[in-house]
Amino acid sequence: MNGSILEIKDLKISFGTGEKKASAVRGIDLDVMKGEIHSLVGESGSGKTVTSTCVMGLLPEPPAIIESGTIKYKDLELLSLTAEERRKTRGKEIAMVFQEPSKYLNPAMKVGEQITEMLRLHLGMNHSEALKRAIEILDLVGLGGNTRVLSSYPHELSGGMKQRVMIGIAICCNPSLLIADEPTTALDVTLQLQILKLIMKLRRKLGMGILFISHDLAVVHDISDRVSVIYAGRIVESGSRADIFESPRHPYTRLLLASIPDAAKRGRKLAAISGRVPDAEHFPPGCAFHPRCPLAEDGCSQAQPEMEKIREGHSAACFCLSKEWTE
Ligand X SMILES: Nc1ncnc2c1ncn2[C@@H]1O[C@H](COP(=O)(O)OP(=O)(O)O)[C@@H](O)[C@H]1O
Query: For the chain, what is the radius of gyration of the CA atoms?
Result: 21
Judged by the rule CB under 5 A, the positions of this chain that interact with Mg ion are: 48-49
**Minimum distance from CB of 217 to Mg ion (Å)?**
15
Task: Candidates 48-56, 127-135, 145-153, 196-204: pick the segment binding ligand X (CB under 6 A).
Answer: 48-56
**Minimum distance from CB of 54 to Mg ion (Å)?**
12
**Minimum distance from CB of 12 to ligand X (Å)?**
12
Say whether residue 288 binds ligand X (CB under 6 A).
no
**Minimum distance from CB of 44 to Mg ion (Å)?**
7
Say whether residue 46 binds ligand X (CB under 6 A).
yes
Q: What gap in Å lies between CA 113 and CA 141, rounded to an integer?
A: 17
The set of residues, in sequence order, having a beta carbon less than 8 Å from that of 308 and lying 6+ positions away, is: 315, 316, 317, 318, 321
Nearer to ligand X, 29 or 117 (CB): 29
Q: What gap in Å lies between CA 274 and CA 259, rounded to an integer?
A: 11
- Tell me, by CB under 6 A, how many residues bind ligand X: 14
Task: Candidates 39-47, 140-148, 171-179, 192-200: pick the segment binding ligand X (CB under 6 A).
Answer: 39-47
Nearer to ligand X, 223 or 288 (CB): 288
CB 25 within 8 A of CB 13: yes
**Minimum distance from CB of 39 to ligand X (Å)?**
13
The set of residues, in sequence order, having a beta carbon less than 8 Å from that of 293 and lying 6+ positions away, is: 251, 252, 287, 300, 320
* Residues 61-100, interacting with ligand X (CB under 6 A): 63
Nearer to Mg ion, 111 or 179 (CB): 179
**Minimum distance from CB of 182 to Mg ion (Å)?**
6
Cα 317–Cα 319–Cα 324 angle in degrees, nearest 5: 105
Nearer to ligand X, 172 or 236 (CB): 236
- By DSSP bridging, strand 209-214 and strand 177-181 are parallel
One-letter identity of residue 256: L
Helix (H, G, I), strand (E, B), or coil: what is residue 202?
helix
Nearer to Mg ion, 213 or 296 (CB): 213
**Minimum distance from CB of 98 to ligand X (Å)?**
11
- DSSP per residue over 30-89, as a string? EEEETT-EEEEE--TTSSHHHHHHHHHT---TTTEEEEEEEEEETTEEGGGS-HHHHHHH
Nearer to ligand X, 45 or 112 (CB): 45
Q: What gap in Å lies between CA 182 and CA 135, rounded to an integer?
A: 26
- What does DSSP assign to residue 96? E
Say whether residue 30 binds ligand X (CB under 6 A).
no
Sheet holding 314-316, edge to edge: 94-97, 177-181, 209-214, 37-41, 226-231, 234-240, 314-316, 308-311
Among 3, 17, 44, 308, binds ligand X (CB under 6 A): 44
Say whether residue 50 binds ligand X (CB under 6 A).
yes
Q: What gap in Å lies between CA 126 and CA 123, rounded to an integer?
A: 9
Nearer to Mg ion, 52 or 176 (CB): 52
Closest residue to Mg ion in the complex (CB): 49
**Minimum distance from CB of 103 to Mg ion (Å)?**
13
Which residues lie near ligand X (CB under 6 A)?
15, 22, 24, 42, 44-50, 63, 279-280
